[in-house]
Structure 1
Amino acid sequence: MLAGPLFRREVLINPRPLKHYLMRAGYVLALFVLMYTAGQATIGWQTLGDIGDAAKFGTFLFSLFAMVQLTIVIAASLLFGSSTVAQEKDKRTLVLLLMTDLSSVELVVGKLLSALLTVLTLIAVSLPVFALVHTLGGVSMTQVLWVEVICIAAALAAGAWGVLVAFWREKTFQTLAISVLGAVLFLGLLELGSVAAGAGSGISQGLAAFDPYRAVLGVLNPLAAQPGVRTPTVGALSSTVSLLGLAAVLTAYTVLRVRTWNPSQLAFEQAATAAAEAEKSPSTNRHIHRKVWDAPILWREIATRAYGRKMFVIKAGYFVFAALAVLFLYNSPANAGLVLGLISREGFAFMAVSILALVLTNAQAVTSITSERDGQTMELVMVTEVSSREFILGKLGGVFFNMKEVLAVPVAFVLAAVSRGTLGGENAVYVLVGLAALAIFAAMLGIHQGLTYEISRQAIAHSLGTIFFLFVGIFICMMLIVEARSSYSLQFLPFLGFILGGSMGLYASLSRKNQSPALMLSAGILPFATFYSITSYLLGNTLGVCVALAVAYGIPTVAMFVPAASGYDVALGRSSDKG
C-alpha cells in the first residue's frame, strides 16, 4: 500500500525481459565459479584430510562470499536508487508524476522499492548458495541468515540515500557523485569516530552499529566480541535496527521535501528572469553574448555550467575523504602490518583515493553523453559541422578538466611518498604511468558506454558496473592468491575460469553494438594481464606491473576511441562496418 502503483508496475514488468532471469542465474553461477576458484586455489585437487579442513575452508569461503555480496549490494543499491530518479528528471517525466494523484509517500517509496527489486532478488537467490556452504561446516545457519538480513538492511539504507540525493539534485553527475561520496564519507567517519572514541566505549559501539561491514565481521567472528563466552551468541540486531532506522529517516525526509525540491527552483528562476527581460524596453534590453571557442564542445564542457552549480561540493567532499585517508596514515603506528595481509597502509590510502577518483571520472564521462541524449541535443550536434573526432576529444578534454583537482590528489599522495623516502623515484614514475592509463581508460569507457546504450540508466549501470567489478575482481584475486600461499605459476589454472568469465562479461558489455575484433581482443587480454599484474606486484616486479597495466588498459582505450572518433554512425552502432 505504501509503495503504490510505481512498485506494482515494476513487479509486473521486471520479470518479463530475459535479462531478469539471466541476471539471477548469472549471479548464482558467479558464486559457484568463485567457489570453485577458491577451492582450487587453496586446496587444489587434494582430498580434504578431515572435517576440520572442510570447516576451515567453509569458514573462509563464507567470509569471502559475505564481504563480496555486501559490497555489491551497497554499490548496486546506490546506483539503482539514484539512477531511477535521475532518469525521470533527465527525460522530463518526473514533473508528470508530480501532477498525478500519487502521494509523496507512494512516489518516494515506490521509486525506492522499484530500484531495489533487482538487488533484493539477488540477495534471495544467494541464500541457497550460502546454505550449501553451511554444509561444509564451520558456519552455522544462524550466521547465514544474519548476513542476509544485514545485506537487506544495508540495501535499504544505501537505496534510501541514493533516492534522497536524486530527488534533491538536478544533474545526473551530481546525483551519482554525491551518492557515492556520501556513502564513502559516512563509512569513513564511522570508522574514525569509533577509533577516536575507544574500542569499548558506548559511543564506539553506537557508531559501529551503523557500519554494515562491522556487523558482518561480528557475525563471522562472534568470539572476537565475546572472548570469555564458551558458546557465543550470533546476532546483529542492533546493526539491523540502526540501518533500518537510518533508511526510514532518510525516506521520511525525502517524502517531506520531494515537492519542495521538485520541480527544480532553477526552472522558476529562469522563467522569472525571462519574464523580467521581456518587460524591458528594446533600448535597455541588452544581451551579452559569450565568445565561443573554435572547439565548441570543449568550450561547453569547460566554460559553461553544464554539470550544475554545485561541482565544488563534490570536490570538497572528495577532499574531505582524502583528509580522512591522511588522518588514517597519521594515526597508524610505525610498525603497523599490511592491510588485509595484502598492501601497506600508505598503499591502501593511495588505492582508496585513486579508486574513488577513477569512479568519479567514469561517472563524469558517461553522464556527459547521457545528458546529451536526454536533453535531445545529440541529434542536433550530429547535423552541425562538429565532427565525431572533435566531439569525442572535446568530451574527453572536459572530463579531465572538470576532474583535474580530483585526479591531482592521488598524484599528491605519490609525491608525498617520494619526499618521505618511502617510494623511490623509479617506482613513482611507474605508479603515475599506471594511474594515467587507468584514468584515460575510465574516461573513455564512460563515453563509449554512453554512446552504446540509448537508455541512460543502462549506460550508467554498465559503465560504473564495469569499473566496479574490475576492482572487485582484482580484490578477490589478491585475497585468493595470498590465502593460497603457493607458487603463482601453479595458480593460473584455478583462476582460468574466473578470468574467462570476466573476459566474456567485459566483451558483452563493450561490444553491444560495435562487435569489432579489437574489442574482442581487448576483452580477452585485459583480465589475463590484470592477473599477471597482481602476481607481479606480489612478487615485487614493479616494472612488469606498469607495462602490463599500460598494455592491458591502453589497448581497450584505443579500441573504444577509434570507432567513436571515426563517425557518428559507427560510434552509435548504426553502421554495418564491423572492422
Structure 2
Amino acid sequence: MLAGPIFSREALTAPRQLKTYVLRAGYLFAFFVLLYTANQATFGWQQYRSLGATARFGAYVFQIFSFIQLTLLIFAALLFSAGNVAAEKDRRTLLLLLMTDLKDRELVFGKLFASLLNMATLLLCSLPLFVFVRLLGGVSTVQVAWALGITAAAVYAAGSWGILVAFWREKTFQTLSISMLGVVAFIAIVEMLAVLVGAELTAGRWIGAFDPYRSLLRVVSPFATENLTRINQLAPWESLVALVGLSAVLNGIAIFNVRRWNPSRTVFIAAKEDKTGGRTRQARTVWNQPILWREIMTKAYGRKIVLIKLAYIAFALLIGYALFRDTSSDSLVLGMIYWQGVGLVLLSLLSLMLVNAQAVTSITTERDGQTLEVLLVSEITPKEFIGGKLLGVFYNAKEAILVPLVLIGLMLAQGLILPAQVVYLSVGFLMLCAFAAMLGLHSAISFDNSRTAIINSMGTVFFLFIGIFICMILIVEARSSFALQLPSFLIFIVGGSIGLWTSLTHKNPSPALTLSAGVLPFITFYAITAFLLGESFSVFLAVFAAYGFTALAMLVPAISEFDLSLGRATIEKG
C-alpha cells in the first residue's frame, strides 16, 4: 500500500518473465563456482582436511562473499533505480505518470521498490548460500544475519540516492554520473571524517556507521575490530540506524520535490521570437561533420555537466592527497599492490565507468528522444555517425581520461614507478578507455531498450573489474600451489567468457566478437599472473592486444553493418 500501483504492477509482472529466474539461478551459480574455485585454490586436491582448516576456509569464503555481494548489489541498485526513472524521462512517459492521481510518495516509493525488487530477491536467494557457508564453520549465525542486514540497508540507501538523482536531473548521463560520483564521494568523505575524528570515539563510530564496508568489516572480523568476548555480543545497530535514516531523508527530499523538479522547466520553453520577425541570435555554422559538431559545440548533455567534471576533479584531488601525504609506507594491500596503486585503480575504474556511461547514453538519448530516426533518414554515413560519437565521447570525458594520467605522473615524480612503467600504464589506460567507449556504443546499437543497453554496457565493465579483483585474491591465496589449482581457475574464466559472449553477440554476432569473448578472459588472466610476478611489459602487451582487438571487433561491424543494426536504407552522397 505504501508503494502503490507502480510496485504492484512490477511485482505481478516480474515473476512471469524468464529473465527473472535466469538472473536468480545465474547469481547463485556464480557464487557456487566461486566457492569451488576458492576451495581448490585453498586445498587443491587434498583429501584430508582438519576441522580447523575447514573453519578457517569458511571464514575466508564468508568474507569474500559478503564484500562481493555488497558491492554487486549496491552497484545494481544504483543502476536499476537511476536507469528506471531516467528511461521514463527519456521516453516522456513520466509526464503521463504525473498527470495521474498517484500521490508523490506512491510515485517515489513505487519506482524505488520496483527497481529494488530484483535486488531483494537476490539477497533472499543468497541466504541458503550463506547458511551453507555457516555449516563449514568459522562463521556464526549472528554474523550471517548482520551481514545480510547491513547489505539490505546499504542497497536501500543506494537505491534511494539513485531515485533522488533521477527525479532531480533531466539528462541520463547526468543521472548516472552524479549517482556514481555521489556514492564514491560519500564513502570517501565518511572514511576521511572517521579518521579525522577518531574511529575509536563515539562520534567517529557513528560517522563510520554510514560506510557499509566499514560496518561489514566489523561483522566478518568481529574479534579483530571489536572488544568482544563472545560472538553473540556483536550488534552493529549504528550502521542499520544510520543507513536506514539516511535512506528516509533521501526519500523525504525526493517526495517533497518530485513535482517541483518534474516536469522540467526546459520541457515547455518555447523559442523566443523577435518582434521584427528576424532571428533572435546569429545562426551557428555547422561543421562538415555534424555529429561531431553536435557532440562538442552544443549542450546536448545538459548545462550541469561542468559541475560533474568539477566533482570528479575534486574527488581525484582528495584521493591524491590521501595517498601521497605519506609515501614512506611500503606495505602491500592484500599482498598485491601499494596504496598509491589502489588509488590509481579506483580512480581509473571510475573514469572508465564515466567514459562508458557517456558512450552508451550518447546513442540511447537519441533513440529515446526520437532524433535517431531523423539522423537515419539523412545523408550521414555510418563512418561519420560512429566516428563523431566516438570522438565526442573522448572530448566530453576528457577530464576523466586526463586526471588518471596526471596521477601516473605524480607517481613517477614520487619515485614509485619507473619511466617505462609510465608508458605502459598510460598507453594501457588509454586503450581501456577506447574499449569502454566502444563497448558503450556497441551496447547502445545492439539493444533496442535503452535501460537494458545501459545496464548491459556498464555492468560488463564493472563485472570485468570485479572478476579481475576476485582472480587476484584467489591467485594470491593459491600462490604456493598455483599449478595444481589451474583447472579450478579455468572454470571461473570459462564462465566469464560465456557471459562476455552473451553480451557482445546479442544482436549481431560475428566470428571476431566470438573470438574476443573467448580470448579476452584468458589473456586477462595471464595479465593478472604476469602482474603478480612483476612482469610489467607482459601485462602491457596482454592488455593492449586483448582489449585493442576487442574494441576493433566492435568498431568494424558498428560501421560496416550500421544500416542493418539500426534498420535504415543507405543514402549515398552525390
Q: Match for residue 121 of structure 1? A: 121
Between the aligned partners of 1:347 and 1:492, the Cα distance in structure 2 is: 27
Retained in 2: the 8 A contact 1:215–1:236? yes
**2:278 matched to 1:277?**
no
**2:131 matched to 1:131?**
yes
Select which of 343, 354, 357 maps to 2:351.
357
* Deviation at residue 204 of structure 1 after TM alignment: 1.2
Q: Match for residue 220 of structure 1? A: 220
SS in 2 for 1:31: helix
Retained in 2: the 8 A contact 1:526–1:553? yes
Between the aligned partners of 1:331 and 1:203, the Cα distance in structure 2 is: 25
**2:519 matched to 1:525?**
yes
Q: Match for residue 495 of structure 1? A: 489
Letter in 2 for 1:281: T
Between the aligned partners of 2:119 and 2:299, the Cα distance in structure 1 is: 34
Q: How many percent identity over aligned positions?
A: 52
Q: Give runs of aligned pairs for residues 556-567 of structure 1, distance below 5 A.
A: 556-567=550-561
Retained in 1: the 8 A contact 2:273–2:280? no
Between the aligned partners of 1:230 and 1:141, the Cα distance in structure 2 is: 13
Q: Which moves more between the two structures, 377-386 or 364-373?
A: 377-386
Q: Match for residue 284 of structure 2? A: 290
Retained in 1: the 8 A contact 2:292–2:391? yes
Retained in 2: the 8 A contact 1:519–1:559? yes
Q: Match for residue 310 of structure 2? A: 316
Instruction: Please give the root-mean-square deviation of Cα atoms over the aligned residues, in Å.
Output: 1.5
Retained in 2: the 8 A contact 1:513–1:572? no
**2:390 matched to 1:396?**
yes
Retained in 2: the 8 A contact 1:177–1:360? yes
Letter in 2 for 1:277: E
Q: Match for residue 17 of structure 1? A: 17
**2:304 matched to 1:304?**
no
Select which of 437, 457, 467 maps to 2:461.
467
Between the aligned partners of 1:228 and 1:79, the Cα distance in structure 2 is: 38
Retained in 1: the 8 A contact 2:324–2:340? no
**2:260 matched to 1:266?**
no
**Per-residue CA shift, 1:429-483, capped at 9, x if unaligned?**
1111110110000000000000011111000000000000001000100111112
Distance 1:259 1:461, change over 3 A: same
**Per-residue CA shift, 1:41-66, capped at 9, x if unaligned?**
11111124311010000000010000
Between the aligned partners of 2:156 and 2:417, the Cα distance in structure 1 is: 42
Between the aligned partners of 1:226 and 1:178, the Cα distance in structure 2 is: 35
* Deviation at residue 285 of structure 1 after TM alignment: 4.5
Between the aligned partners of 2:322 and 2:486, the Cα distance in structure 1 is: 35
Letter in 2 for 1:251: N
Between the aligned partners of 2:321 and 2:233, the Cα distance in structure 1 is: 35
Q: Match for residue 451 of structure 1? A: 445
Q: Match for residue 236 of structure 1? A: 236
Distance 1:285 1:537, change over 3 A: closer
Between the aligned partners of 2:147 and 2:476, the Cα distance in structure 1 is: 24
Q: Unpaired runs of 5+ in structure 2?
A: 570-574
Q: Match for residue 410 of structure 2? A: 416
Retained in 2: the 8 A contact 1:387–1:567? no
Q: Give runs of aligned pairs for residues 502-521 of structure 1, distance below 5 A.
A: 502-521=496-515
* Deviation at residue 142 of structure 1 after TM alignment: 1.3
Between the aligned partners of 1:407 and 1:429, the Cα distance in structure 2 is: 15
Between the aligned partners of 2:330 and 2:245, the Cα distance in structure 1 is: 36
* Deviation at residue 517 of structure 1 after TM alignment: 0.9
* Deviation at residue 224 of structure 1 after TM alignment: 2.4
Retained in 2: the 8 A contact 1:48–1:54? no
Between the aligned partners of 1:349 and 1:170, the Cα distance in structure 2 is: 31
**Per-residue CA shift, 1:384-443, capped at 9, x if unaligned?**
111111100000000000111121111001111222222111111111111011000000
Between the aligned partners of 1:239 and 1:414, the Cα distance in structure 2 is: 36
Q: Normalising by structure 1, what TM-score?
A: 0.96
Retained in 1: the 8 A contact 2:142–2:231? no
Q: Unpaired runs of 5+ in structure 1?
A: none
Retained in 2: the 8 A contact 1:222–1:233? no
Between the aligned partners of 1:120 and 1:574, the Cα distance in structure 2 is: 41
Q: Match for residue 246 of structure 1? A: 246
**Per-residue CA shift, 1:161-208, capped at 9, x if unaligned?**
000000000000000000000000000001111111123122211111
SS in 2 for 1:135: helix
Letter in 2 for 1:383: V
SS in 2 for 1:267: coil
**Per-residue CA shift, 1:482-517, capped at 9, x if unaligned?**
122224444432100100000000000111111111
Q: Match for residue 540 of structure 1? A: 534
Between the aligned partners of 1:285 and 1:335, the Cα distance in structure 2 is: 64
Letter in 2 for 1:324: L
SS in 2 for 1:385: coil
Distance 1:491 1:542, change over 3 A: farther
Q: Which moves more between the two structures, 457-466 or 490-499?
A: 490-499
**2:330 matched to 1:329?**
no
Between the aligned partners of 1:488 and 1:538, the Cα distance in structure 2 is: 12
* Deviation at residue 229 of structure 1 after TM alignment: 2.6
Select which of 341, 345, 351 maps to 1:347.
341
Letter in 1 for 2:89: K
* Deviation at residue 574 of structure 1 after TM alignment: 8.6
Q: Match for residue 438 of structure 1? A: 432
Letter in 1 for 2:447: Y
Q: Which moves more between the two structures, 58-67 or 319-328?
A: 319-328
Between the aligned partners of 1:451 and 1:535, the Cα distance in structure 2 is: 34
* Deviation at residue 381 of structure 1 after TM alignment: 1.0
SS in 1 for 2:233: coil
* Deviation at residue 570 of structure 1 after TM alignment: 3.4
Letter in 1 for 2:117: L
Letter in 1 for 2:416: T
**2:378 matched to 1:370?**
no
Retained in 2: the 8 A contact 1:226–1:232? no
Task: Tell me the matched-pair count.
Answer: 569
Between the aligned partners of 1:529 and 1:487, the Cα distance in structure 2 is: 21
* Deviation at residue 375 of structure 1 after TM alignment: 0.9
Letter in 2 for 1:46: Q
* Deviation at residue 234 of structure 1 after TM alignment: 2.1
